[in-house]
Structure 1
Amino acid sequence: MNLQILRPVTIKARVTENLKARLTAELNAAIQQLDDEMAELESQVKRAQLTAAITPQQQLQLRQLMEQERAARAEKKAQLQAEISRVQALPLGAEIVQGTVQATATVKVGDSLDALMAAEIVVEDGKVIEIRGEL
């Protein structure tokens, strides 16, 4: 008797200069978006503070909220910058996990479940270069 199951397949990318450049560009874009969001938030707070209907208590709350948002975004920015450093330090030819996908597999009595669950696809610059395990 055979049974069809869904199982995870790990996608790994071989580190190349192109991959490092792409990952760095994505991280820099995320940092730029954080900076843009912060500038927009500061602009909105300044406009709100200029409104005559806002009380001193509300101004204080706005400033506190702004500081919390600034701190949260600064922490996220520091994490992204640390990730850029880690990407730049990756050795060429190393393999990094890019994610997982689901694939179907046929299982029958006597099959090695460990072998079925250990499937990997290795890509280099967007092209599949190796398939490991039982697909």
Structure 2
Amino acid sequence: MKRAAAIVAALFACVPLSAAEPIQGRWVTGEKDAVVAIAPCGPKLCGRIDRFLVAPPKGVDQRDVNNKDPALRNRKLLGMAILSEFTEESDLWRGTIYDPKSGKTYRSVIRRKGANVLEVKGCLGPFCQTQTWQRAR
């Protein structure tokens, strides 16, 4: 009986747990217009606009003019969190993503698709849109 228990324990030790691959780092958005830096924000992860690759209409001082909340329309896009409250869940990360172009926030799922690729999905109800983000160099 002890031998059977030892074999079962050894088998479980060899099976990797299904954990999400880390997503921290600097990533070029799917539209290739900005670099987003993903890092811890307290116990969760968030992603802030680190730099623009394509200048917004008002330049690097662009404000969040499309936000639904008038009180937030004066905040700068550069440095602003567009990924919020991401937590690890099995083999992916769940949180919310904010689109400054539309001023809307969506449920989001992020998966690593290799060392240099993220699959970033934003969803409204059952409808989702997926982008591929590349690791910034």
TM-score range, shorter chain: under 0.3
TM-score (norm 1): 0.23
- Of structures 1 and 2, the larger Rg is shown by 1
More strand by share: 2
TM-score (norm 2): 0.23
